[in-house]
Structure 1
Amino acid sequence: MAPRKRNAQNANNNSQNQTKKKGAKRQDDKSQEVTEVEGIPLSYLSLILFFAAVIGVAHRNHLAGMFERDRHFSHLSTLERELAFRTEMGLYYSYYKTMIETKTYQKGLNKIMYDNITEYPLTINTLKRFNLYPEAVLAIGYRAYESFWTGLNKPTKQCWTVNRGEGKTPVQSCEGLGEPSYFYIENVFFLNGVMMSVFFLFGTYLSGSVFGGVLTVASYFYNHGECTRCMWTPPLRESFAYPFLVIQMLLVTHIIKLRIPSYRYSGLIALITVCFMLSWQFAQFALLTQTLAVFATYALGYIGSHKVKVIMMGQLTGLLCSFIALFGNEMLLTSFFTSCVITVMVVVILESHLEKLNYKVLILATQGVLLILGTVGLKIALSRLFSTADDAHIGDIFRSKFSNFKNFHTMLYTCAKEFDFMEAETPWKVLKTLLAPSVGVAVLTVVFQLLKREYKVWTSDTNSGSDDGEEENESQHRGKPHAELVYHLFQLLAFTAMAILIMRLKLFWTPHMCLMTSLLASRQLFSWIGSRERQLAIVVLVLAGMSVQGIQNLQHQWSIMGEYSNYPLEELVEWIQAKTPKRAVFAGPMPTMATVKLCTGRPIINHPHYEDAGLRERTKDVYTMYSRKPAEEVKKILKKRKVQYAILEESWCNRRSGVGCSMPEIWDIEDEVNRGKQPLCQKLLFNSEPHFKRVFRNSVYQVLKLT
C-alpha cells in the first residue's frame, strides 16, 4: 500500500506543479494582454489610433474650411446665417433655435412636441415626425456650454460690425461657440470628422493592413464631392445619421468575423441602430439593405444562423427602442425594414425544418420565396392594421421610374435633380480618380477567391462523401472564410442599385466603394502578387495614380469662394416681421416656408418635409397658385386651409427643370379640365384683384393677402 500512497502523493505533486505552471501561464497571458490586444502590439495599436485621430481632425477642418469659404459664414449676421439654411435645413434648425431661446429646456421641448406653428392649425409632435433628436441633444449641449462659461464669467463669442456696402445697413456678426449657429455646425463637422476616423479604422480592419485604411481615406478625399454634401448642407439628417451607419457596418463586420459572437453584441448593434434611426427617417431603407445583405450571406452558407440571430436581435431591439423614442411612429413600424427583420428571424428559426429538403438549391429557393412573401405580406398587413400611407409615395416614385405612371407628387420628386437617375458624369468622375477600377479589381479578386474555394470544397465533398456532422454543426457558428467580404459585396450591390435609381443616394455608394479599395492592401487576397514589398509597391502606385485627378478635385473644392447674400429674401422676412401680426398664417413654396418659420416664427401651412401623406395634400392645395385653375377656386382652397397670406415666386411659375417639369405642366397631369389655359400665377403676377390683394413685392417675391 505504501507505494500506492507515494504514487498518489507524486500524482498530487505533479498536479500541484501543473497548477503552478497554469497559474504562471495565466500571469504570462495577463502580461501579454497588457502589451497586446488580439495579437496586435499596443504600441502599434496606439499609433493607428493616433493616425485615425489626425485624419478625423483633417476631415473636420476640410469640411469647416469649405463651408466658410463658400458662405463667408464668419462675417454674416444672425439673420443672414439663418437665411443661408434653406429648405429642410431651415426647418430643422428652427427647432434647435426654439429649444435654446425658450426660458427653460423643458418648455422648449414642450413647444416642439406640441407644435401648432408648422402645420397650422394642426398641433403635431415634430420630435416624432422629423427625427429631431440631434437638435434636442445639441440644444442641451448649447445650454450647458453657455451656462458653464457664464458661471465662470467668460465670454463665449466675439462680435463686431460688418459693413455690407451697396447701401445696405451694417450688421453685427458674432463668432464663437456661444453663437448658436456656430455651435450647431461645429458639432456637425466634429461628428463627420469622427466618421472619417472610423473609416480609416474600418479600412484597416477589413484589409488587415494600415495601408488599407490609407487607401480608404485617400479615396474618400479624392472623391469628396461624390461622397458627401455635409460641407454645403450641415443641418440635413444625413450629416448626423450617416456616421452611425458606418460604425454599425464596422460592428456587423466584426461580428461576422468572430468565431462565436455573444449576444452582448446585439446590445451594441441596438444602440447604434437607435442613434441612426433617431437621426434620419430614411435610416430604415439603409438598414433594409443591410438586413438583406446579411441574409444573403447566410443563405449562401457563409455565416451560420447564430451570427444572423445576433445581428437581427440587435436590429430588432434598436427598431423597437426607436419606435418608442419616436412616440410610436407608425411609418417606422409599417416599414419594409420591420417586416424584413421579422421575416429573416422566422426563416432562420425554421432552419432545421428547411434542411430536410436536402438539396441546397431547393433550400436557397425556399428561403428566397419565404423572404419575399413574408416581407411584402407583413408590410401590407401592418400598413392596413395601422392605416398608414405615409411611405406610399416611395413605391410611386420607383413605379414612375420603370413605367409611364406619374402623378403630382411623383413629379415633384422626379423633377428634382436629387431624385433623378444617377448623372451620366458620376461614373466618369469615379473612373478618373481610379476609384472604380480599384474597386473592380478588388471585387473580381474576392469573387475569384470565393469561387476557387467553393470549387475546392465541392471537389473534396464529391471525393470524400458527406461532411462530418460535427463539422457542419461547427460551421453553423463559424461560417466560411471571407464571409465578411461576401456581406460587403452584397452591401455594395445594394448601394449601387440605390445610387443608380436615385442620384442623391450615391452618398451610400461612393463611400462604400472607397472602403472596398482597402482590399487592395489585403495580404490574404493578394498574396499571389508575390512578396509583401511588391504588393505595397503596387498600392503606392495606385495611390499615386489616384492622386493625379484626386488632388485636382481637392484643389477645385478649395478654390470655391463665395459670400452669401439674399437681399430679396431678407427684405421679405423683414417686411413680415414688421408689417404682419405674429399669428398671421402663411403659405407658399416649401423652401421659403421653412425660412418664414425659422426667421419670423409665423404659422405656416406647408413645409419641405414631404414624407407625410397629410403634408403632401396640404402642399398640393397651396400649389394650386401655380395651376391653371380659376382664381376664385384657388382662393376657396386656400381659405379652407386657413391661409391669410400667400407668397408667390415668379421663378416657380416660369422655371422648367426638364420636359414636363414646370409647375403648370405638373398640374396638367391631374387637372385635365383646365389644360391649355393661362397659368394662374402668371395672371397674379400682373393683377391679383379681386380675390387677392398684393401687399408686398420685390424682384423675386410677392405677398398676396386673401380678401
Structure 2
Amino acid sequence: MSSHPISGCPGKDAPLATTSFQAPVESHEVTPSLLLPKLSEEARSLWSGRAAGRGRLGAARPRSSRTGALRPPGSSPVRPCASAVPRNARCTRCAPVQRRPLWPGTFAVCRCAAAPLRPPPALRSRSSGGGRKRGAAPLRSSRRGMRERSRPRGRREAGGGAGGADASPRRERRGEPAAGCGHGPAMEEGAADLRQRKKQNCTESDKMAPEERNKENSKLGRSPKYMLIQRFAKLFFGCLAAVTSGMMYAVYLSTYHERKFWFSSRQELEREITFQGDSAIYYSFYKELLKAPSFERGVYELTHNNKTISLKTINAVQQMTLYPELIASVLYQASGSEEVIEPVYFYIGIVFGLQGIYVTALFVTSWVMSGTWLAGMLTVAWFIINRTDTTRIDYSIPSRENWALPYFACQVAALTGYLKKNLNCSAEKFCYLLVNASTYTFMMMWEYSHYLLFVQAVSLFLLDSFALAQTEKVHEVYRIYLFSVIVGYLLQFENSALLVSPLLSLVVALMLFKSLQMNMKKSTFVSRLLKIMYIYLVLTVAVTLNFLLKMFIPHKENGHLLKFIEVKLGLNTTKNFTMNWLLCQESLQAPSQDFFLRLTQSSLLPFYILVLIICLFSATQVIFRRICGEPLKETVKLEDGRIGERPEIVYHVIHTILLGCLAMCLEGMKYLWTPYVCVLAAFGVCSPELWMTLFKWLRLKAVHPILLALILSMAVPTIIGFSLWKEFFPRIMTELTELQEFYDPDTVELMTWIKRQAPVAAVFAGSPQLMGVIKLCTGWMVSSLPLYNDDDLLKRNENIYQIYSKRSAEDIYKILTSYKANFLVIEDSICNEVGPVRGCRVKDLLDIANGHVVCEEGDNYAYSKYGRFCHEIKMNYSPYVNYFTRVYWNRSYFVYRINTVISFQS
C-alpha cells in the first residue's frame, strides 16, 4: 500500500496532512527531483520509495472509493491527488465531501483517492517563519508519537491496526493532531496558533449542511441529484396538499354559508340582517367607506365620527379596530370589483379566504413539527370536524378574531420553524421575516392581540429559562414584540392600552436582565442560583413596571376587565349589572361537558392527552439533565428517543397548556386552544420520534423499536383518518346538501318601517344588539352599541337596559332624553324572556342591581312600587302615555316615540 508522499500517513481515510508551507502562486507539475530539496529527510525517503509499506503509524486499512468504503484486499491502491488546499477551502480536483477539518493557519494536502494521479505542486516555505527549516527531521507533537518511534520495527508492522489506522482517530477525538501528518512542527514551533472556536454563523452552517447531507447520501449509495429530486418532490406535494386543504376549506365555508342562509336568493336588507351584534357594526363602517366620495374622506369621517352614537364623537378606527374594513374597502375599489361582485360577497369572500390561510398555516405547523404532511392532513380533518369548537365563523363572520387569528397561525408556523435546530441560513431568515410581518399584522387586526402575544411570550420565557432553546433566537422574538407594540401604538392613534399591556412590561424586563441570563449557561451551583434569581427578578420587575405604567399613563380601556377577573376568581362580589351580565355570557363561563364529549367523540382529546404526557415527561427529563450539567445535543436522532430536546415541540406543549388553562376558565378561549390541540395531537401520532421516546421508556426488545416507531407513525394516523372519514364525512356532506333559511320577517318589517317613516335625524334607543342592526340596515343614529371595550359605552348600555327594569316612567324618560333619543324600541323576547339559568336574564340582573329582587327564598329584598316598565307601557295608561306614544308594533317589536312635549292625561 502506498502512503502519502509528504506526510507519510497511509490510506485515504487518514486525516489531511498539513504542513507549514504556503500554497504556490501558480499551480504547475514538478518532478520528484525538484520537490525533494524542499521536503524533509523523511518525506524524501518516503517519496523515493525507500520507506514504502512501512508508515510511521503502521499500515492502515485501504479504502477504495470516495465514499470511504473499504477496498477489497489485493486490489491495486489508488494514489491521492495531493493538492495543496488552504484552510476552509475546497479541493478543485475532487468532490467537496472529501474535505477534512484543518489546523488553523496551515495548508492541507488533499488525499482524495478518486482524483487523477499527479505529484504535488511546488510548495514554498512560509514567510512568517513559523515553519521548520528545509531538511529538518519532523518532530513528534505528542508522547504517543515518541512511543511509536521507539517501538521496534517488527512490532510496529505487526500491530498496525492498533498503532496505525486507529491512532489518528483516537488522537483527533482527544483534540490532538495525528502523528506523522505534519502537525508536529506547527505545534511545537508556533506555526499554528490555538484559538477558541468562534460561533458558527449562517454562512458556515449553510456550507456545512450540504456536505453532511452528501456524506449521508454517499453512505446510502444515493447520488446528490437523486436526493435533491426527492426533497423537491416532498416539498412540492406537501405545499400542494397544504394549499389545496386551505382552498377546499374556504370553498366549504362559502357553500355552507350559502346553504344555511340561502344568501344568493335574498335581498340586500335580508342579507344584512344575518350580521348580528358587533358584526353588524363592523360591516356598517365598511359600507360607509364604500359610499364615501374618496378613501381619504371616508377615513376622516371614521376617525371623527359623530353620526353613529348620539352626543358622542369617536375615533372608530382606533376604538373598534377597523383596519380590516379599511383594507377590504381599498381592495374592493382598487381591484375594480364594483361591476363584478357585490360588496357583501367581496367582504365575506375575504374572510373565508383568510380562514383558508388559517387552515393552511395549521397544516404547515404540524408538517414542520413532524416532518410529514400526513400530520397536516390529520390536523385539517380534526379542525373541520370540530368546527363548532375551533372557530366562530359560522355565526359571526366580521368579528375581529376571524380577521386576526389567521395571521397569528402564520406567526406560530413561522416561529415553529424559527425555533428548530440546525436550520439553514435561508430558511431561518425566511421564518424570521414571516414572524415579523405576521406579528405586526396581528397586532393591528385585534384589540386583544397583545394579550395572546403575552401568553406566547410567557411560553418563550419558560422555554428559555430552562435552556431548551437558543437564547439569541428567543431575544430576537422579544425584539419583534417590542417593535410591534411601538408600531401598533403609533398606527392606532397612540393607543394607551398597548403601553400598559403586560406584554410590554414583560419584554422590557426580559431585555433588562439579558446580561444576567448569559451567565447561567454553565452548569454550576452559582448558575443555578442565578437562574432562580433571574426568573424571580423578571417577574417582579414586570409586575412593578406594569403597575407604574398604569399609574403614570392615563388609560380608560379594559378597566372593566380587571374587575371581571376579580369577580370571576371569587376575589370580589358585586351587584353591578355590567359585571353580572358579562359573567352570564356563555363564552365567559366554564366549558360544558358537551365540549369535552365532542372532542372525545372525534378522538382528538384522547390522543392530545397521550401526546402531551409523553412530551411533557420527556421535556422534564431534559430539564433535569440540564440542571445536572449535561448539554443538549446539537442534532437529535431518531434512535435517541428524546422528543423533549426539540425546542419547537416544547414550545407547543407549554403554549397549549397555558391556553388550555384559560379555556378551562372561559369557554370562549376554546377557539384559541382547540386549533393547536389539533396540531399537537396530529404531530404526535405521525412522529416516529414520539413513538421512539415511548418505546425507549418501555425498553422494548421483542421488536426493533425504530422499525415499530416508523410503522406506527404511518399506521395510526391512517386508521384515525379512515375512522373519521367513515363517521363524519356523511355528516359534512349532509350539511352541504341540506337547504336552510334564515327567516326573520319581524326584523325586516321593522327596518323597512324605520327607513320609510322615521326622520333622518332620529335617534333610536334599545338593546345594544338591536341598535347594531338598525345602524347597519338603516344608517340612523343610535344611543348605544354592542361594544364592551369602553367604559362610557358600557355605562350607556346599562342605562338603556333600564327599560326592562321596575322603574317609573319618569325615570326612564329622563334617561332616554339625556341621550337625545327620539324613538324607543322594546323587544318582546327580552321583556318576556324565559332563560334556562335563573338569575342570568336581563330583567333579573337589573332587579339585582336595583335591589328589587323578591324571588329568593329565605332572603328579604326591597320591593318596588312600580311595575316592570316594558310591561306597563303596553297598557297605554297614564303616566306612560304622557311620556311615550306607540307608533309601530308587530309580534316582536314595539316602537314608541318619545314625546318632546309632555301631555298629562287622566
With structure 1 as the length reference, what TM-score do the two structures score?
0.86
8 A contact 1:568–1:701 mirrored in 2: yes
- Residue 82 of structure 1: aligned partner: 272
Deviation, 1:503, is: 1.1
Residue of 384, 393, 398 corresponding to 1:230: 393
Distance 1:20 1:225, change over 3 A: same
Deviation, 1:673, is: 6.9
Deviation, 1:555, is: 4.7
8 A contact 1:587–1:646 mirrored in 2: yes
- Residue 161 of structure 1: aligned partner: none
Deviation, 1:458, is: 6.0
- Residue 633 of structure 1: aligned partner: 811
Q: How does 1:687-698 map to 2 (within 5 A)?
A: 687=876, 688-698=880-890
8 A contact 2:489–2:498 mirrored in 1: yes
Deviation, 1:703, is: 1.7
Q: Secondary structure at the match of 1:436?
A: helix
8 A contact 2:619–2:644 mirrored in 1: no
- Residue 872 of structure 2: aligned partner: 683
- Residue 163 of structure 1: aligned partner: none
- Residue 382 of structure 2: aligned partner: 219
Distance 1:23 1:508, change over 3 A: farther
Deviation, 1:428, is: 1.0
Letter matched to residue 533 of structure 1: I
Distance 1:560 1:495, change over 3 A: farther
Of the structure 1 ranges 449-458 and 281-290, higher mean CA displacement relative to structure 2 is found in: 449-458
| Distance in 2 (alpha carbons) for counterparts of 1:38 and 1:526 | 28
| Distance in 2 (alpha carbons) for counterparts of 1:358 and 1:580 | 78
Deviation, 1:459, is: 6.4
Deviation, 1:420, is: 1.5
- Could you list the per-position Cα deviations for residues 197-252 of structure 1 after superposition, in whole angstroms to 9, with x for gaps in the alignment? 22211111111112221221121122222111213321111111111111111122
| Distance in 2 (alpha carbons) for counterparts of 1:87 and 1:425 | 25
Q: Secondary structure at the match of 1:116?
A: coil
Q: Secondary structure at the match of 1:146?
A: coil
| Distance in 1 (alpha carbons) for counterparts of 2:511 and 2:226 | 37
- Residue 706 of structure 1: aligned partner: 898
8 A contact 2:466–2:623 mirrored in 1: no
8 A contact 2:263–2:271 mirrored in 1: yes
Q: Does 2:684 align with 1:519?
A: yes
Deviation, 1:115, is: 0.8
Residue of 573, 579, 587 corresponding to 1:405: 573
Q: How does 1:570-649 map to 2 (within 5 A)?
A: 570-649=748-827
- Residue 129 of structure 1: aligned partner: 319
8 A contact 1:653–1:662 mirrored in 2: no
Q: How does 1:368-447 map to 2 (within 5 A)?
A: 368-403=535-570, 405-406=573-574, 407-447=576-616
8 A contact 2:686–2:716 mirrored in 1: no
Residue of 417, 420, 430 corresponding to 1:257: 420
| Distance in 2 (alpha carbons) for counterparts of 1:524 and 1:618 | 57
Of the structure 1 ranges 362-371 and 420-429, higher mean CA displacement relative to structure 2 is found in: 362-371
- Residue 662 of structure 1: aligned partner: 841
- Residue 498 of structure 1: aligned partner: 662
Deviation, 1:28, is: 13
Residue of 672, 690, 696 corresponding to 1:508: 672
Distance 1:454 1:366, change over 3 A: closer
Deviation, 1:608, is: 0.8
8 A contact 2:520–2:530 mirrored in 1: yes
Distance 1:444 1:552, change over 3 A: farther
Distance 1:21 1:576, change over 3 A: same
8 A contact 1:265–1:310 mirrored in 2: no
Residue of 281, 305, 308 corresponding to 2:471: 305
8 A contact 1:94–1:598 mirrored in 2: yes
- Residue 8 of structure 2: aligned partner: none
Distance 1:39 1:349, change over 3 A: farther
8 A contact 1:267–1:314 mirrored in 2: no
Q: Secondary structure at the match of 1:344?
A: helix
Distance 1:23 1:578, change over 3 A: farther
| Distance in 1 (alpha carbons) for counterparts of 2:237 and 2:399 | 34
- Residue 486 of structure 1: aligned partner: 650
Distance 1:702 1:386, change over 3 A: farther
8 A contact 1:383–1:389 mirrored in 2: no
Letter matched to residue 685 of structure 1: K
8 A contact 2:417–2:431 mirrored in 1: no
Larger radius of gyration: 2
8 A contact 2:378–2:721 mirrored in 1: yes
8 A contact 1:303–1:480 mirrored in 2: no
Letter matched to residue 245 of structure 1: F
Q: Secondary structure at the match of 2:410?
A: helix
- Could you list the per-position Cα deviations for residues 604-658 of structure 1 after superposition, in whole angstroms to 9, with x for gaps in the alignment? 1211111111111111121121222222112112211222222111221232352
Q: Secondary structure at the match of 1:257?
A: coil
Q: What 5-or-longer segments of structure 1 have no aligned partner?
A: 1-6, 157-177, 462-466, 471-478
Of the structure 1 ranges 88-97 and 261-270, higher mean CA displacement relative to structure 2 is found in: 261-270
Distance 1:273 1:560, change over 3 A: farther
Q: How does 1:80-159 map to 2 (within 5 A)?
A: 80-146=270-336, 155-156=339-340
8 A contact 1:208–1:523 mirrored in 2: no
| Distance in 1 (alpha carbons) for counterparts of 2:752 and 2:486 | 45
8 A contact 1:652–1:663 mirrored in 2: yes
| Distance in 2 (alpha carbons) for counterparts of 1:321 and 1:37 | 44
Deviation, 1:87, is: 0.6
Distance 1:451 1:693, change over 3 A: same
Letter matched to residue 552 of structure 2: L
Q: How does 1:152-551 map to 2 (within 5 A)?
A: 155-156=339-340, 178-258=341-421, 268-352=434-518, 358=525, 362-403=529-570, 405-406=573-574, 407-454=576-623, 481-517=645-681, 518-527=683-692, 528=695, 529-531=705-707, 532-551=710-729
| Distance in 2 (alpha carbons) for counterparts of 1:370 and 1:459 | 23
Deviation, 1:416, is: 1.8
Q: Secondary structure at the match of 2:888?
A: strand
8 A contact 1:203–1:212 mirrored in 2: yes
Deviation, 1:360, is: 6.2
Deviation, 1:388, is: 1.9
Letter matched to residue 335 of structure 1: S
- Identity value in percent: 24
8 A contact 1:586–1:647 mirrored in 2: yes
| Distance in 2 (alpha carbons) for counterparts of 1:481 and 1:257 | 10
8 A contact 2:517–2:531 mirrored in 1: no
- Residue 174 of structure 1: aligned partner: none
| Distance in 2 (alpha carbons) for counterparts of 1:39 and 1:367 | 48
Letter matched to residue 270 of structure 1: N
| Distance in 2 (alpha carbons) for counterparts of 1:266 and 1:536 | 32
Letter matched to residue 544 of structure 2: G
Q: Secondary structure at the match of 1:705?
A: strand
8 A contact 1:650–1:685 mirrored in 2: no
| Distance in 2 (alpha carbons) for counterparts of 1:629 and 1:22 | 97
Letter matched to residue 243 of structure 2: A
8 A contact 1:36–1:42 mirrored in 2: no
| Distance in 1 (alpha carbons) for counterparts of 2:593 and 2:798 | 31
With structure 2 as the length reference, what TM-score do the two structures score?
0.68
| Distance in 2 (alpha carbons) for counterparts of 1:459 and 1:353 | 16
Deviation, 1:350, is: 3.5
Q: Secondary structure at the match of 1:648?
A: strand
8 A contact 1:418–1:503 mirrored in 2: yes
| Distance in 1 (alpha carbons) for counterparts of 2:459 and 2:421 | 18
